[in-house]
Amino acid sequence: MIARSETGVVEGTIESINAHDLEHEVLTSYEVRDRYRVFKTDEEEVGVVEGEAGWLEPEKCIDLHTKLARDAGADVRLGAKVKGFECAPEGDRVRLNVEDGGVMEATKVVFAVGPWTSGLLGDRMKDKLTVTRKVLHWFGHGVDGDKPEGS
Ligand SMILES: Cc1cc2nc3c(=O)[nH]c(=O)nc-3n(C[C@H](O)[C@H](O)[C@H](O)COP(=O)(O)OP(=O)(O)OC[C@H]3O[C@@H](n4cnc5c(N)ncnc54)[C@H](O)[C@@H]3O)c2cc1C
């Protein structure tokens, strides 16, 4: 991870690393450039290296979680869009109204609808959620040779 040292990102990363007792190195801007020549870091930036770090392939993770959920008895309905929800008349269950006209009921519901949260939960969450903008940027690596698979 590379970021300006004064931002909370570096502090947060190190806090998390310490909380989980992970081996890591903090590199100065010069050390980052020396070791990883593809990065042209500013003087104010530092690098945090965690040798054991890796990445997850989301499609595989989602497939596996879906399988484990089904194995544990979950009724997985892919592509079922929830239009709205209400308390069932009995009062102890939540009723979800699905776009195809179906209804699902449960005693507890976890909404994990990402950026669609305000659309689905509307006024119920307006005092509890703060939406912030996150700017993303992609740039070429400038290295000759074959592109990695999928790029
Ligand atoms: C371009 C990009 C690159 C990223 N790269 C990384 C990365 O490298 N590493 C990393 O950790 N994070 C990365 N992220 C962030 C990461 O993707 C998100 O933090 C993560 O996907 C959030 O997961 P979520 O389950 O909360 O929401 P989402 O992944 O947004 O999932 C919400 C789901 O709810 C469904 N949904 C919405 N409304 C309804 C409804 N009414 N009824 C039923 N279903 C509904 C949607 O179809 C969607 O499937 C990246 C994000 C973007 C945009």
C-alpha 114 – ligand 1 centre gap (Å): 6
The closest residue, in CA terms, to atom 46 on ligand 1 is 113
Helices (H), the chain: 8-19, 29-35, 58-71, 117-121
pLDDT of the residue at 98: 93
From 57, 56, 41, select the one nearest 1 (Cα to Cα). Answer: 41
The closest residue, in CA terms, to atom 34 on ligand 1 is 113
Tell whether the model's pLDDT for residue 105 goes beyond 70: yes
In this structure, what DSSP letter does residue 25 have?
E
**Band of the pLDDT at 147, cuts 50, 70, 90?**
low
**Band of the pLDDT at 146, cuts 50, 70, 90?**
low
Which has more confidence, 102 or 65? 65
pLDDT of the residue at 89: 81
For the 77-138 domain, the top CATH level (class) is mainly beta
Do residues 66 and 76 lie in contact, with contact meaning Cβ atoms separated by under 8 Å? yes
What is the rounded average pLDDT of the residues 91-113?
Answer: 90
Per-residue model confidence as pLDDT tens digits over 49-91: 998 888 999 999 999 999 999 999 998 989 999 999 998 887 8
C-alpha 110 – ligand 1 centre gap (Å): 15
Instruction: Return the ligand 1 atom nearest residue 83 CA.
Output: 41
pTM score over 0.75 = no
**Domain definitions of the chain by residue range:** 2-49, 77-138
Q: What lines the ligand 1 site, CB under 6 Å?
A: 81-82, 112-116, 120, 136
Per-residue model confidence as pLDDT tens digits over 3-41: 998 888 899 999 999 999 999 999 999 999 999 999 999
C-alpha 121 – ligand 1 centre gap (Å): 17
Ordered strands of the 45-49 beta sheet: 2-4, 45-49, 25-27
